[in-house]
Structure 1
Amino acid sequence: MIAQWCCLVIALAGCADDPDASTDDAGATTTRDAWVADDVDAQTIDEDAGAVESDSGATEEDASMPEPDAGPPPPICPAVDCAGVSGTTTAGRLVALDECGFGLRLERPLAEGEALADALLTRLGAARRRDLAHVLGNLNRQGRAGLSSATSSRLSGLGARGFRWETGDENVDYWYPQGITGSHDAGLTGRTLLLVSWYHKTDARPTKGARLSLVDISDLSRPRYRHLLLVDPVMTASGANFEPAEYDGGGALHAGGITWIGDRIYVADTSRGLRVYDLSRMFAPTNTDDNERIGISGTRSDAHGYAYAVPRVARYVRAGSTCSARFSFVARGDVGGTPALITGEYDADTVNGRVIAWPLDRARALLDDEGSGTAYSLAAAIAGRTRVQGALRTGDVWYLSSSSQDGSDGRLYIAREGRTSTSVNWIRGAEDLYLDASDRLWTAGEHPGQRDVVSIPRPR
């Protein structure tokens, strides 16, 4: 488990010394079925499964007969008409939806994903495994204190604080920051940490996928960080191996939102659901001298030049006949005090993108399915704003991070059901949201040369 003295900021940050290239695994034949999703399976409910007929003529001897099997329990949520959870609204009006329309399930049992990651660690050798404390002791990049003049002016009067990446990461044009989370999400105390995700923006195939930046902002005047590569374990003819985090059909995982729960990092998987990566199973490849290579070949292992890699252990996908949704971002929040993960849909053209809250079992660091195998959403709504890049709910209030609602700058919306949303200025290229232990909302800018990582006190 991650040490309790530690708080983590990971940014999937791209850096100028890592050119956009990737390699195959020395000719190894990869069996991808460990992670390629099945088609969403239809779930059939026998409506009569629990019915027991009563025979008014039953004798006393009949009463001694064992009762028939009552069958499976009824679903927690009844089936809904998916057309009813895909409605419309007007600008500024958040409209609640039937939360029973949405459900997520683990694509494979968690134990299978952990076993595959452990097989990878075994092949790499016990000496290659690393923990969070080790990585925090080896942060190799120095961020810059303070905010750009443009951001300081834009957020004047809002109590803004933050930092900037070193200049190479600030300006690189093939890695783009997206998601943000931190040690408060993970329940850690001690150091104040952030994690920021970046995706590899390139037309080349394959890509380098996605990565995290682990940032220590315990002293915000001296932010220090390091990049970690997200990887997906696979089973090959030669044994367990690993690949970059890409979509099933190719292309870098966008990683538009992340949240850190216990040892696990939840990453938005746009069309499928959520991927889960495990910081307790981090490893160090043997070589960091070749940015073009990834995977194990003989006694050598590479992760595109990165010193540390974080493997996937699970993925959540749409459950059975529940309604489809997109997963553009994810954050940790709550619904009336109940812990939740908040996901949502980016929509550039309409105000009808949806936001959904999913029940979270913090002790297990998994979605809470109440033993049914399906985690049904706690709340859902049509956002009522375009270009939402991140969302968070606490109590009955939704916060919506929009990237370009005011010319080229963003807006942060405060929305409640049945009311017109209010807003405050937000940065240009604003992305995902994170609420820290001091009740400050964080986001990261994505555009080269304008990548402030910034926070303000949560607006009411």
Structure 2
Amino acid sequence: MRWPWSTMWRPVRRRRRGGGVELRWLTARSWTQRWYPQGIDVGERRGNRALAVSWFRQDASGRHLASRVALVDRARARRLDIVLAVTDDDGVLQPAPIHAGGLAWFGDRLFAAATGQGIWEFDLGALRRVHGTDAQRVRGGRGRRERRTAVVAVRTRRHPVALRCSFLGRAFDADGTPLPRVLIGEYRGEETGTVGEFTIPDGPDGTFVEVERFEPGIRHMQGAVRWGDRYFVSQSDHLRPGVLWSGPRHALTRHPVALPVGCEDLALDPDDELLWTLGEHPWRRVVRGIPFVSLGLRLPGGSTGPRT
């Protein structure tokens, strides 16, 4: 895979599981309590397909320090970390202070859910490489063991949305055609949140335009995507396997396929016919691709399983 700064790639373990795919981290990120994985989507960069997984960093008190996105090469099961950053009033790069609970990847445009702060947009076509104290600062670290180089994606726009913006997912037609739309939803504890469908901004002055919204009546929603008239919603359940809900938006039912413990965001992958999700809890972290056939989804004239 031809990427800039290829020496920064780090391996990920990949294996088949129940007709699907499972990726596991092969470093301390499998158990660290400083970084937590959150959002996921599938995209392409320089002709190569990759998974994008967002992470946020916090200190021992729970204070937010930084956010990043790991691009996982689907062909080789390796990853490249990209730090998310903003430019302050003096033109200095600072860590993006967002939870990044969901991702939507359109070409070089990467949208991230910024809980309580709308949707933030980053440009993957203009990555920067920074060194020394700049690299340490955008990573939110000052320790001697912090790497001295970082690849950075800088925020280009901040889009206001009249929702809490806890997570973010894509929408597709029933034939697998990607739509210029996203589902934006709210994680709530004791209450149930709202999911809204929006068109993505068209051009530099565009905005997220709401098409419709609904309340699934589900607590602890973590992600939502749409395939034709069928919706999929993930629900976390503490240290128990997550729950997948599916069906028409006003008639979602619990699906028998279980999600990982500490499940988070969802992403549809029509090319490999997989529904991707991930788990956030230390020692239980996994990125899992669930085959469409297990969900009753099938592309017109398509295969009966993933092509990985």
User: TM over 0.5: same fold?
Assistant: yes
Going from structure 1 to structure 2, the CA distance change for 1:291 and 1:383 (only over 3 Å counts) comes to same
2:251 equivalent to 1:419? yes
1:143-154 equivalences in 2 (<5 Å): 143-146=12-15
- What percentage of aligned pairs have identical amino acids? 31
Secondary structure class of the residue paired with 1:192: strand
Shift of 1:368: 4.2
Going from structure 1 to structure 2, the CA distance change for 1:347 and 1:415 (only over 3 Å counts) comes to farther
The equivalent position to 2:167 in structure 1, one of 322, 329, 332, is 329
Shift of 1:376: 2.5
2:259 equivalent to 1:430? no
Q: 1:229 touches 1:306 (CA, 8 Å); kept in 2? A: no
Q: State the Cα deviation string for residues 129-160 of structure 1 (Å, max 9, x = none).
A: xxx8314x33431112237xxxx6xxxx5x23
Going from structure 1 to structure 2, the CA distance change for 1:399 and 1:372 (only over 3 Å counts) comes to same
Q: 1:334 touches 1:341 (CA, 8 Å); kept in 2? A: no
Corresponding residue for residue 174 of structure 1 = 34
Corresponding residue for residue 313 of structure 1 = 156
Shift of 1:447: 0.5
After TM superposition, the score normalised by the length of structure 2 is 0.82
Q: 1:335 touches 1:378 (CA, 8 Å); kept in 2? A: no
Corresponding residue for residue 189 of structure 2 = 348
Corresponding residue for residue 221 of structure 2 = 388
Corresponding residue for residue 88 of structure 2 = 234
Shift of 1:287: 2.8
Going from structure 1 to structure 2, the CA distance change for 1:373 and 1:180 (only over 3 Å counts) comes to closer
Matches of 1:389 and 1:140 in 2, distance apart? 29
Corresponding residue for residue 191 of structure 1 = 48
Corresponding residue for residue 275 of structure 1 = 120
Shift of 1:333: 1.1
Q: In structure 2, give the amino acid aligned to 1:276.
A: E
Corresponding residue for residue 10 of structure 2 = 141
Of Structure 1 and Structure 2, the greater strand share is in 2
Corresponding residue for residue 255 of structure 1 = 100
Matches of 1:263 and 1:384 in 2, distance apart? 34
1:88-103 equivalences in 2 (<5 Å): none
Q: State the Cα deviation string for residues 91-116 of structure 1 (Å, max 9, x = none).
A: xxxxxxxxxxxxxxxxxxxxxxxxxx
Matches of 2:87 and 2:123 in 1, distance apart? 12
Q: 2:243 touches 2:259 (CA, 8 Å); kept in 1? A: yes
Q: State the Cα deviation string for residues 277-316 of structure 1 (Å, max 9, x = none).
A: 111221111337x975459xxxxxxx97442111111010
Number of residue pairs matched?
Answer: 283
Secondary structure class of the residue paired with 2:88: strand
The equivalent position to 2:78 in structure 1, one of 209, 224, 228, is 224
Going from structure 1 to structure 2, the CA distance change for 1:204 and 1:348 (only over 3 Å counts) comes to closer
Going from structure 1 to structure 2, the CA distance change for 1:206 and 1:426 (only over 3 Å counts) comes to closer
Going from structure 1 to structure 2, the CA distance change for 1:414 and 1:313 (only over 3 Å counts) comes to same
Secondary structure class of the residue paired with 2:3: helix
2:68 equivalent to 1:208? no
Q: In structure 2, give the amino acid aligned to 1:355.
A: V
Going from structure 1 to structure 2, the CA distance change for 1:292 and 1:258 (only over 3 Å counts) comes to same
Shift of 1:206: 7.2
1:126-137 equivalences in 2 (<5 Å): 133-135=3-5, 137=6
Shift of 1:386: 1.6
Secondary structure class of the residue paired with 2:199: strand
Q: State the Cα deviation string for residues 352-403 of structure 1 (Å, max 9, x = none).
A: 311111113xxxxxx249x996543122110222211111012111100111
Shift of 1:208: 3.2
Q: Which structure is larger by alpha-carbon Rg, 1 or 2?
A: 1
Q: 1:207 touches 1:244 (CA, 8 Å); kept in 2? A: no
Corresponding residue for residue 165 of structure 1 = 25
Q: In structure 2, give the amino acid aligned to 1:382.
A: E
Going from structure 1 to structure 2, the CA distance change for 1:312 and 1:449 (only over 3 Å counts) comes to same
Matches of 1:230 and 1:420 in 2, distance apart? 34
Q: State the Cα deviation string for residues 180-234 of structure 1 (Å, max 9, x = none).
A: 1122xx5x68433111100012256975310111111214xxx111222111012
Q: In structure 1, give the amino acid aligned to 2:182.
A: L
Shift of 1:331: 1.6
Corresponding residue for residue 85 of structure 1 = none
Q: In structure 2, give the amino acid aligned to 1:401.
A: S
Q: In structure 1, give the amino acid aligned to 2:194.
A: R
Q: 2:118 touches 2:165 (CA, 8 Å); kept in 1? A: yes
2:199 equivalent to 1:359? yes
Shift of 1:241: 1.3
Secondary structure class of the residue paired with 1:169: helix
Matches of 2:206 and 2:80 in 1, distance apart? 37
The equivalent position to 2:129 in structure 1, one of 255, 261, 284, is 284
Matches of 1:345 and 1:307 in 2, distance apart? 31
Any gaps of 5 or more consecutive residues in structure 1?
1-5, 7-131, 247-252, 296-302, 319-323, 361-366
Shift of 1:245: 0.7
* Larger RCO (alpha carbons 8 Å, 6+ apart): 1
After TM superposition, the score normalised by the length of structure 1 is 0.56
Going from structure 1 to structure 2, the CA distance change for 1:434 and 1:374 (only over 3 Å counts) comes to closer
Q: State the Cα deviation string for residues 215-266 of structure 1 (Å, max 9, x = none).
A: 11214xxx11122211101231xxx2110111xxxxxx11101121111110
